[in-house]
Amino acid sequence: MISIQKITTYALGFCVSGVLMVTTLSAGSAKDRSDPEVAAVAPVYLQLEITSACTDDGAVFKVINRGVKWPKSGYLRLYYADDKSVLGERKLRLAPGQKVSFNVTKDIMAGHPVAIWVEPEWYEREMEYDATIDCN
């Protein structure tokens, strides 16, 4: 029977060996030890829950951040969905679980379907509406 302590020691030894191996390969392949090492970090992607509903007064969009804290600000833009003209925008930075809502009155909608799109500043995202609604 192997004790938990032995398994932990083995696992730690394996991790240390792996780190040493990577360090050795990295140092052996470098041209000059003074060259800086560059690490690439994957971008934090948006994880949003967006709901839309028609009300007696117009439309409402609710946005919930289901991911991590945004590393930078982003723009939440409202559009006329049929001609892609911007109704308004707000710059914001959401924490995990943070909720925001936007009301679009019937006067502003003026018979058009409306849409919402979130554009982060920390990575490029293709312009495609995140939610649309037609309350006519």
Say how many domains are in the chain: 2
Residue type, 110: A
Lowest pLDDT segment from 5-9, 37-41, 104-108, 125-129: 5-9
Tell whether 124 and 74 lie within a shared domain. Answer: yes
Q: Can you give the residue range of the structural domain that contains 85? A: 48-133
pTM: 0.68
Tell whether 34 and 53 lie within a shared domain. Answer: no
User: In this predicted structure, what is the pLDDT of residue 135?
Assistant: 95
Contact 116, 79 (CB under 8 A): yes
Banded pLDDT at 24 (limits 50, 70, 90): very low
Q: Above 90 in pLDDT, residue 27? A: no
User: In this predicted structure, what is the pLDDT of residue 41?
Assistant: 60
